[in-house]
Amino acid sequence: MAKMVARAEVMKEITEALLNAESLYIFPHMVADGDSMGSCASFCRLMRNLGKTADIMMEDEIADNLKFLDKGYVTFVDENTEVPQRDLCVALDCSNTDRFPKRNKMFFSAGKKTICIDHHVTEFNYADINLIAPDAASNTELLYELYEFMGVEIDKEMAEAIYTGIVTDTGNFQYTNTTKKTHIITAELYDRGIDTKQLNITLFQSVRPQKLMLRNTILNTLEMRCDNRVSMAYVTLDMYDSCDAKTSESDGINATLRDIKGVEMAVFLREKQPGEIKVGFRSKDYVNVSEVCLSLGGGGHKHAAGCTIYGNMEEALEIIRKVVDDVMAEYDAKRA
């Protein structure tokens, strides 16, 4: 009960800030996925419906299957972009400011007040107002709760953006973060007229050949460890270039690695830029990958988390090999 009261109190504070504001900037995380883009698109649509000046600030490209969410909402910026000050800067689906490195300075300087709305486990609250709900299956699920709390109209466009976040962050409702509430909210989105047939074609059935080529190239790096209970693979910048693929087209590999029979933990390493490796962890049952990533300076959920390692790919692989070997040995000892 106390937890729900606390969430309601924060929602009330956010509602007052949003209704009193005239202008705001909205921040998704870099390499925005369906939940991040769905969150920002629904939020921007609502703010503009309420007569606010609102824009989504991005530092990298939108994935092809998510471009339909941008109805003139997105402005592309970098660390040198100067923008007029607004009342609020709102980060959505960003557990820490490392998730938007080129817009970090802008987030803290371009708004009179900052807000973070997120569903990941985090070590600290970085905004003036923080609504953090790790029990939410997706950030759009949390935003749906906020919109209901605010008593605002959720139109079809907002509903389709919310659905995008839910369906992608739950792996088509297969992941363990899916709950009864997730299905209830999704059912209520149908009442707003969402076209799930077209949404699912756009999201999941419009793959470029280059993505399939990249997937094959990545899977050729597959490495099995710990009696085949850990699967690992990686992608480098050169691999993207050789396949003429976009960085967003490596999305979904983690799920493929996790889905291998007998695998408990899957790890995917992605070279973001020379000397910077993004590492995504997934687990099926008993391994808490959030704890693993927290030890590496990252974070996330029990079964889905990530971190950053600075160095080249081979150095990062050696670090991760040792980490996963140690983690599985610790779990084996506990379960013995």
Q: Per-residue pLDDT tens for 264-310?
A: 999 999 999 999 999 999 999 999 999 999 899 988 888 989 999 99
What would the DSSP string read from start to end of 45-96?
HHHHHTT-EEEEEESSPPPGGGGGG-SS-EEE--TT-----EEEEEEES-SS
Q: What is the CATH number of the domain that holds 238?
A: 3.10.310.30
Is 324 in the same domain as 296? yes
* 144 has pLDDT over 60: yes
Among the three residues 153, 171, 204, which one is the final residue of a domain in this structure? 204
Note whether 141 and 164 are within 8 A (CB). no
Helix (H) or strand (E) holding 204: helix 196-204
pLDDT band at 5 (very low <50, low <70, confident <90, very high): low
Residue 3 confidence class, pLDDT cut points 50, 70, 90? low
The predicted structure's pLDDT at residue 132:
94
Residue 288 and residue 192 share a domain: no
Question: In terms of Cα–Cα distance, which of 223, 165, 219, 213 is closest to 189?
Answer: 165
| Domain coverage including residue 43 | 2-204
Residue 161 and residue 43 share a domain: yes
Whole-angstrom CA distances from 317 to 23, 32, 55 are: 44, 24, 38
CATH of the domain at 17: 3.90.1640.10
Q: Which of 169, 204, 239 is the last residue of a domain?
A: 204
Tokens of 4: 């729900």
**Phi and psi dihedrals of 194, rounded to 5?**
-65, 145
Q: Are residues 171 and 57 in the same domain?
A: yes
32, 142: one domain: yes
Q: What is the DSSP letter of 121?
A: B
Q: How many domains does the chain fold into?
A: 2
Q: Mind listing the pLDDT tens digit for each residue in 89-120?
A: 999 999 889 889 999 999 999 999 999 999 98
Q: Tell me, what's the pLDDT at 330?
A: 93
**pTM for this prediction:** 0.83
27 plus 151 within the same structural domain? yes
Answer yes or no: do 164 and 255 share one domain. no
Residues 195 and 246 grouped into a single domain: no
Taking the C-alpha atoms of residue 39 and residue 136, their distance in angstroms, rounded to an integer, is 13
**Boundary residue ending a domain (181, 204, 227):** 204
Specify whether 15 is located in the same domain as 100. Answer: yes
Residues 164 and 306 in one domain: no
Instruction: Tell me, yes or no, whether 8 and 153 share the same domain.
Output: yes
Tell how far CA 146 is from the center of its chain: 18
What's CA 30's distance to the chain center, in Å? 9
For residues 186 and 266, state if they share a domain: no
Token representation of residue 266: 């899957």
